[in-house]
Amino acid sequence: MFEFFGHTADLGLRVTAPDLESLLAEAARGLLAMLVDNPQQVQVTSTVEVKISGQDPVYLLFDFLSELLVIFDTRHLLLADFEVEVSGDGLHARARGEQLDPARHRLAHEVKAITYHGLKVEKTDDGWLAELIVDI
Amino acid sequence: MPAARFQGTLEQVDETCFRIPRSYMPGMRVEGLIYADERLIEEVKSGQAPQQVANVAYLPGIQMASLAMPDIHWGYGFCIGGVCATDPEQDGVISPGGVGYDINCGVRLVRTGLAESEVTGRLKGLVDELFRSIPTGVGRTGKYSFSHQELKRMMSEGVSFLRGRGLATDDDVEFTEARGCIEDAEPECVSERALERGTRQCGTVGSGNHFVEVQVVDEVVDEAAAAAFGLKRGMVCVLIHSGSRGLGYQVCDDALRALRDTPARYGVELPDRQLVCAPIKGPEGRQYLGSMRSAANFAFCNRQLIMWQTREVFERFFGRSWQQLEMELVYDIAHNIAKFEEHLIEGRRKRVCVHRKGATRAFPPGHPELPARYRPVGQPVMIPGDMGRASWVLAGAPGSMLKTFGTTCHGAGRAMSRTASVKAARGRRIDRELLEAGIIARARSHRGLAEEQPAAYKDVDLVVDVVHKAGLSTKVARMRPIGVIKG
């Protein structure tokens, strides 16, 4: 589950999930919902593989979302569906989506970057919680 | 996360300045000074931006004071509106958070020979044509594409590179801050990923608060300065606001990543990890400076190409060349940048690194860096307001050299968060409201317009009053929007 929260000039994302892998996948869906107003319209016709090395869940989240942002910015790929595995080497994700089509996808925000401000990933009593703020 | 109210000390120095004394936090090397008046300071105190002014005072090598302009609001590490000068000879540091993600975000003002009456009846067509022709918004690429090799030349040469391609004139170079080229850029310091993001984005506006706006000179306050800037009442102008696009964001992102552990390595203690920094003279600092300057030169070129496309649209629309339409560049200035400049500090001339994050250079009359034409009156400073009220043209004044390292404010500053703005706009059509006020607005998304609605911003007139009274820059002309395109 994810929700947005306000932060002066920018936008925050709060994510909860039962485990770390679904937390990362859910955060990626949250990012998509920041980019387009109608994420449900994104079809899954192409696949990209994303690998992030590291152990710290905070930096895994940061680097994963930053990578998705670069893929969107350079290749105009909207990614909507994620299978995420976290192992000792880091994160491996299979992300599916399609090329941006302005006729069907209503673009919402240009996300400049994921920021370190208030960035957190933590275990809670009933799963995992992440919060982050993006620069608009 | 709603920011808590600032609980620290803020002493009133005079009518336009408030002080955070060094005693507020033990690590402050200098005091903090916030330029604001009694009307603005209450809002400033309602958040954590003053705390950020105090935090910046921890940076090694900081000179005189950690400063903030009246459009201050919360930012990453440094507040927006923050100014800080560091001395490389005193272990001074450079901090990417003191520049921001959008390196050399800035504004450029183009005047035209057209009177408002020549445009009014045809305004809708003109704005539609601008919206069709100039890429705005997310994921829209430009008509210009540059190979990595070409981008590197552009980042090293600045706007002169475009002059070589017939996309800029001698005057366009002359009337851009630093003549459109920050020296000592090192494109080799820019990552492949940043280059990749820049390939198709030069000449695109982007989204967020960026825009191209058709304006009318509504009121002239200083006739002599306005004449030097070529502005007169009733004249149609175009104001362009954009920065270094994905290339610059990536340069900042790369630097924040690379510098994650640098302060600890140099034994620098900081109250906020987003103030990461590196000694100017060290390898990490040089690497960031080389890439930041490259991104800054890319941004000058981006605004140049947006202006070039604007000229082409006006040519097609009015059936005359842009020269016949007298579409001359008034000036182009950066408001997110760090630059080396000479300043008189405690009686000594020093070459310091001035960080301006949401703050604008405002050199006074007589400054040697100004184009000859503007030297008698001071540097033009453009202050975009919101799209419903006004923007201002100011002139740099002597107070800026005495008080703020040659700096003034950069805009109105946000008063409402994006989510609050969308909530406040629910059930309303901001474009129709603007139309009723005589302003034609075109944006890729209704949400974008809602987030950028006039009420989301402070009143720019209040901000400008403060810098005028403080003698940092003085009022020249007030500009009224009539058409705007956005992301």
Contact check, Cβ <8 Å, B448/A66 = no
Residue B433 lies in a domain: no
For residue B3, pLDDT beyond 90 = no
Domain-embedded: residue B51:
yes
pLDDT above 90 for A117: no
User: Which class for B279: exposed (0-12), middle (13-18), buried (19 or more C-beta within 10 A)?
Assistant: buried
Please say if the pLDDT value at position B366 is more than 90. yes
Q: Is B247 on the interface with A (CB under 8 A)?
A: no
Q: Is A15 a residue whose pLDDT tops 70?
A: yes
CA distance B394 to B465: 11
Q: Is the pLDDT of residue B439 over 80?
A: yes
Best mutation target among B1, B275, B336, B422 (most A Cβ atoms within 10 Å) is: B1
Whether residue B437 is contained in a domain is answered as no
B196 located within any domain: yes
Contacts of A7 in chain B (CB under 8 A): 1, 417
Confidence of residue B1 (pLDDT cuts 50, 70, 90): very low
Q: Do B418 and A107 touch (CB under 8 A)?
A: no
B6 in a structural domain:
no
Whether A74 and B197 lie within 8 Å, measured CB to CB: yes
Give the domain CATH number at B114: 3.90.1860.10
Could you report the per-residue pLDDT of B286-340, keeping only the tens digit for each? Answer: 999 999 999 999 999 999 999 999 999 999 999 999 999 999 999 999 999 999 9
Closest CA to A99 of A47, A134, A37: A47
What residue type is B260 in one-letter code?
Answer: R
Query: Looking at residue B2, what is its pLDDT?
Result: 46
Model confidence at A80, in pLDDT bands (50, 70, 90)? very high
Q: Which of B364, B344, B359 is nearest to B473 (CA)?
A: B364
Are A11 and B414 an interchain contact pair (Cβ–Cβ within 8 Å)? Answer: no
pLDDT at B264: 93
Q: What is the largest CA-CA distance in chain A?
A: 43
Query: What pairs with residue A129 in β-bridges?
Result: A16, A122
The answer to whether B445 contacts A106, with C-beta atoms less than 8 Å apart, is yes
Kindly state whether residue B86 falls inside one of the protein's structural domains.
yes
Q: Is B486 on the interface with A (CB under 8 A)?
A: no
CATH T-level assignment (fold) for domain A2-135: Archease, Possible Chaperone; Chain: A; domain 1 (3.55.10)
* B343 included as an active-site residue: no
pLDDT per residue over B187-204, tens digit each? 999 999 999 999 999 999
Contacting residues for B323 by C-beta, under 8 A, at least 6 apart: none
Chain A / chain B CB contacts < 8 angstroms: 93
Of the residues A100, A104, A107, A119, the best mutation for testing chain B's interface (the one with the most B CB atoms within 10 Å of its CB) is A107
Mean pLDDT value across residues B419-424: 89
Q: How many domains does chain B have?
A: 1
Pairing type for strands B11-14 and B17-20 reads antiparallel
B225 domain residue, yes or no:
yes
Concatenated DSSP letters of B113-181: EEEHHHHGGGHHHHHHHHHHHS--STT---S----HHHHHHHHHHTHHHHHTTTSS-HHHHHTBGGGG-
In chain A, count H helices and then E strands: 2, 8
Domain containing residue B250: 11-415+457-486
Residues 6+ apart with CB under 8 A from B210: B136, B241, B242, B243, B486, B487
**Contacts with B448 from chain A: Cβ below 8 Å:** 108-109
- Give the whole-angstrom CA distance, residue B207 versus residue B205: 7
List chain A domain ranges: 2-135
Please indicate if any CB of chain A lies within 8 Å of the CB of B78. no
